[in-house]
Structure 1
Amino acid sequence: MNYVFLLESAKSLLQDSPNNLSLLSNASAFIKDNFDNLNWVGFYLFDGTKLTLGPFQGKVACEIIHPGRGVCGTAYVTKETQVIPDVHAIDNHIACDAASMSETVIPIMNHGEVWGVFDLDAPITNRFDEEFVDFLQKYVEILTKYIDFNKSLI
């Protein structure tokens, strides 16, 4: 996989988004379209009290995740990327899709605070190796440059 090419392609795609809704929608579609063995790719956005479902690609998802609950809530509280090789091995996993076997969640930061999280689920264990996670973190860094943190989704 040519991660450098994909990051350059992402910059071209995301830089001209007219609003946050379009930006996050295309950001999730870009990853889902370019990588195999992902069954859910999307965003949960912090609304002041909880993470709420944002744009995504995949099956119907949980709409609300409280800080500290599940992998997304843990990423929110710790402000750190969570890489879970086997979601069934952790106690607080929230199973929105029973087919999910591994998960990675990357916080989206704005001035030291979590604005939202980028969540990826896979139908196989150990889907997220170090190289892929590094790419995803760089992808979120690029994405963050184009988010208008002063506006809602639209």
Structure 2
Amino acid sequence: MKINKGVEWAGHACALLVPLWPDKGLSLSALAEFHELPEPYMAKQMQALARAGIVTGGRGRSGFYTLAKPPGEITLLDILLAVDGEEPMFRCSEIRQQGPCASKPKDCKVPCNIAAGFWRAEEAYRESLRQIDLATLSGAVAAQLGPDKVAKAGEWMGANARSRT
């Protein structure tokens, strides 16, 4: 399984917005600057998050983004689905209906064990992401960074954050 960079970038952008919720946000340029990411590509991820109702705001470089709902109500699965879409990772192509020993379509009414195994694994993966919300994740990130980096990030956010109004 490979998760595209956009999902990672969107996750980091959302995590950056957590301490600013509910009254403040960051501009697109600030979100891109914080991790030295290309602004046009960050814009694409933020637009996907906005369409999914995870963030609000935008409208160019001067606009800003803020979380659309409490951090405890946004999960990593929400972010993944917003950026990568709802399509399942595994798509059965009914390969068992091909080749010299091909099964007839009428014999393939029940998913094969291989497809069923992939679907079970994907559901377990999605359930795991569903259990990780931004509020919990933000606390874990802060603990991992340590007080000096948290203070430095706080100073940067204080200088770059803007109020909703």
More strand by share: 1
Q: Same fold (TM over 0.5)?
A: no
Tell which structure's C-alpha radius of gyration is larger. Answer: 2
TM-score, normalised with respect to structure 2:
0.28
Instruction: Pick 1 or 2: higher relative contact order, CA cutoff 8 A, min separation 6.
Output: 2
More helix by share: 2
TM-score, normalised with respect to structure 1:
0.29
